[in-house]
Amino acid sequence: MGSYDSVWFRCPVCTQRLELQSKSGSCNFQNYELWDVPPRISADLDRQEILCSCDAKIVLVQLTGKIILPMLTAAPPNEFGDLQEDEED
């Protein structure tokens, strides 16, 4: 098992805490939030996708060389299922 650093953020749909790992930083098991990610790790995680347990697909997008923004790329399925049309009498 190798060493890595972790970036933590919340799913924009269900707010579950999610983790992405990077081997671009110091790799001494540092933990970062989105607002304090070093630029080297931020660049490594740019465009990384993660699937949340709520089925939301999220991609991390690097802005201004350091700030990372989680973007929803696929919403989870509707919990009520497909709505069916009314049958004609």
Residue pLDDT tens, the chain, 89 long: 589 999 999 998 899 999 999 998 888 999 999 888 888 888 888 888 889 998 888 888 877 665 566 777 767 666 555 444 444 54
Q: Among 5, 16, 3, 2, which Cα is nearest to 70's? A: 16
CA–CA distance, 8 with 16 (Å, rounded to integer) = 10
Chain centroid offset of residue 65 CA: 18
Give the amino acid at 1: M
Q: What is the pTM of this model?
A: 0.72
- Note whether 6 and 21 are within 8 A (CB): yes
Kindly report the number of other CB atoms within 10 A of residue 8's CB atom: 13
